[in-house]
Amino acid sequence: MKTLRIVPAFLLLLAFSLHAPRAQEAAPAKAEPKVYNFLIYYMGSRIGWAKSAVSEIELDGRKVVHEKEDAWLQIKRSFDGQTFEVSSVTENWYELDGRAIKVVDVTQNGKQKVKLETVYEDKQVTVSQSIDDAKPTVTTLQKGDRQVQCENRAWKLLKEGKRLEKGERLDFWSVDDDDHALVEQNWTVNGRTRRKLSDKSVVEGVEIRVVKAGRAGTLMIGDDDMPLLIEDVGGFSLERTEKIPEPFKAERVSMRNTMDANVAILEHQQLTRMDIHFEYEHDDDEFVPPIAESNEYHQVIKYDKGYAIRMKSRKLKSDFKAPKYPLAEVPEDVARYLEPTAMCQSDDETLAGEAAKLAKGKTDALAVARAIMRFADKRLDDGSGSTGSASAKQAYDEEAGDCTEHAALFVALARAAGLPARNVGGFVYACSPRGTVALFGYHAWAEVWLGEWIPVDPTVDELGTSARYVFFDIDEPGETHGSARSSRCIRQNIKPVIDAYELADGTSWKRKGAKEFDWK
């Protein structure tokens, strides 16, 4: 499960301005680091800053480039008034030709400290992540025959190859350390452009469309080989500035985490089918995937103005037979979801002890999963704790959390009990008991393997879900969920419309004038 870091990984595009000295030149005196300042924006609100100091240093007897970036942001949420502060210190080491050596990022997110270390070697890349003082989880990524580059090296390849004219393209693989995966990147040069920044200043440089693991963004680099502007499809941006205001005051962020629904369905947990559509200015292409795809949760039709989605019930059928507990065997492709991660510490002594108590005496895997779900629901008071995205252990200790913390706690306890489980996300329909509030909200839930993957929503104590969930991604290390589906929808401010629905008792409804789609 992703932690809230200062910026997406491709935004750490610094240290471009230093070049290898000529062989005949004497070694220069030690120079002061070059310092660059950036302001961080989200959806147009100024929320933070970053300062980067770049210098040449000695490492293992050779000259390398070292970059140290200090960053801070504050998110003041408009919908509940809560404030979260995140700070980070990121150190990067590069060869003089731009090849990455090592990255160490330490992020303080409320009371939670996350350390992420990425080490580059000839044939592999090692990613290590730890939460607070817990044992780190380590992932080794084999390069194989893939051309693995970091962003610094990619820029140098374009510039030194005189490939900065509009239409030039560079395809390569890079490390997404948040996802613990090697992912494809595609850079397309838009040519030399001018842009007006938020402070009304005008900058000029080479603009590049960057797509990393299906997540699109825009990068503008100045004549000094340093970023002037970095925009992310999710609404984040960094803008170069001469000076960071002091004292710095973060602006309130308008968080569109819910969308009003046009119909109140009191029996929404009994939905067997729901048809919705929403208009969407398509941003998908050969590199960016569609917002939603057909799967176990729904059938999807992409049309000229947007998407139509027919959601399906995933309630357990009456003839469902759960495997015996403990599980006798687990398929190889499922077994990885038994392993602890930095955010879901199933090897933690306290969580493991709690899981053992919940599973004690049970011989049916479904009964174990249900007990864990109910525990997670009762253990956590609804509402954020001290951290925007807390780990399972922190949520357990603070006894509070939103949907992400409910899902993380369930997953950690299920794995500790020997049941494969994983975090997933998307959006969901919900209605208040009296029908005064009906909405779609961006949401996180879980899935547990009981001979097949079964959805579990511990936030509302539901195992096997009704036809009201739109699935976006699996939110686990090793899964490349960088397509930013939630943030793309938030930025476009989608407004889903319910066209029809059916309930388990046979009740049905259809909106007058609803557009007809060929669901065959």
Condensed to tens digits (0 to 9), the pLDDT of residues 201-235 reads 999 999 999 999 999 999 999 999 999 999 999 89
Q: What integer pLDDT is reported at residue 25 of this predicted model?
A: 38
Are 218 and 262 in the same domain?
no
How high is the mean pLDDT of the chain? 92
Are 224 and 278 in the same domain?
no
User: Both tokens of residue 274?
Assistant: 């729901």
| Residue 76 pLDDT greater than 90, yes or no | no
Average pLDDT over residues 395-414: 97
Q: What integer pLDDT is reported at residue 77 of this predicted model?
A: 72
Does 451 fall in a domain? yes
Measured CA to CA, the distance from residue 154 to residue 305 in angstroms comes to: 35
Are 160 and 262 in the same domain?
no
Spacing of C-alpha 396 from chain mean position: 22
Does 283 fall in a domain? yes
Q: Of the ranges 76-80, 255-259, 412-416, 473-477, which one carries the lowest mean pLDDT score?
A: 76-80
Number of H helices, E strands in the chain: 7, 27
| Residue 361 pLDDT greater than 60, yes or no | yes
Q: Which helix H or strand E contains 89, and what residues bound it?
A: strand 83-94
Q: What integer pLDDT is reported at residue 482 of this predicted model?
A: 61
Q: Name which residue leads in pLDDT, 384 or 353.
A: 353
| Residue 442 pLDDT greater than 70, yes or no | yes
Q: What integer pLDDT is reported at residue 19 of this predicted model?
A: 33
Q: Which helix H or strand E contains 57, and what residues bound it?
A: strand 45-59
SS3 call for 443: strand
Does 441 fall in a domain? yes
Does 440 fall in a domain? yes
Are 103 and 39 in the same domain?
yes
| Residue 49 pLDDT greater than 70, yes or no | yes
- Residue 79: band (very low, low, confident or very high) from pLDDT cuts 50, 70, 90: low
Measured CA to CA, the distance from residue 178 to residue 139 in angstroms comes to: 11
| Residue 21 pLDDT greater than 60, yes or no | no
| Residue 14 pLDDT greater than 70, yes or no | no
Are 500 and 355 in the same domain?
yes
CA-angle at 133, arms to 131 and 136, nearest 5°: 60
Q: HSE, CB side, 13 Å, CA atoms: give it for residue 233.
A: 25
CA proximity to 483, closest of 232, 278, 237, 302: 232
Are 113 and 43 in the same domain?
yes
Q: Name which residue leads in pLDDT, 286 or 193.
A: 193
Range of the domain at 235: 9-18+33-241
Does 322 fall in a domain? no
- Residue 78: band (very low, low, confident or very high) from pLDDT cuts 50, 70, 90: low
Are 268 and 204 in the same domain?
no
SS3 call for 66: strand
| Residue 310 pLDDT greater than 80, yes or no | yes
| Cβ count near 323 (within 10 Å) | 17
Q: CB of 379 within 8 A of CB of 399?
A: yes
Distances (CA, A) of 19 to 136, 138, 225, 445: 35, 33, 10, 48
| Cβ count near 458 (within 10 Å) | 30
Query: Residue 284 burial by CB count (10 A; 0-12/13-18/19+): exposed, middle or buried?
Result: middle
Q: What is the domain count for the chain?
A: 2
Q: What integer pLDDT is reported at residue 161 of this predicted model?
A: 97
- Residue 254: band (very low, low, confident or very high) from pLDDT cuts 50, 70, 90: confident
DSSP letter string, 304-354: TTEEEEEEE--PPPTT--PPBSS-S---HHHHGGGS--SSS-TT-HHHHHH
- Residue 481: band (very low, low, confident or very high) from pLDDT cuts 50, 70, 90: low
In the chain, the amino acid numbered 347 is: D
In the chain, the amino acid numbered 391 is: S
Does 2 fall in a domain? no
Q: Name which residue leads in pLDDT, 327 or 18.
A: 327
Does 28 fall in a domain? no
DSSP letter string, 165-216: STT-EEEEEEEETTTTEEEEEEEEEEEEEEEE-TTS-EEEEEEEEEEETTEE
Average pLDDT over residues 120-136: 95
Q: What integer pLDDT is reported at residue 390 of this predicted model?
A: 94
Are 70 and 38 in the same domain?
yes
Does 328 fall in a domain? no
Q: CB of 403 within 8 A of CB of 444?
A: yes
Average pLDDT over residues 248-265: 92
User: Both tokens of residue 170?
Assistant: 């560079």
User: Both tokens of residue 361?
Assistant: 């005496």
Query: Residue 43 burial by CB count (10 A; 0-12/13-18/19+): exposed, middle or buried?
Result: middle
Residue partners of 247: CB distance under 8 A and separation at least 6: none
* Bridge partner residues of 108 (DSSP): 87, 113
Convert the pLDDT of each residue in 317-352 to its tens digit.
999 999 999 999 999 999 999 999 999 999 999 999
If you search the block for the tokens 């392993």, which residue do you land on? Answer: 339
Average pLDDT over residues 254-267: 93
Q: What integer pLDDT is reported at residue 145 of this predicted model?
A: 96
pLDDT over 90, % of the chain: 85
CATH number of the domain bearing residue 446 = 3.10.620.30
pLDDT over 70, % of the chain: 93
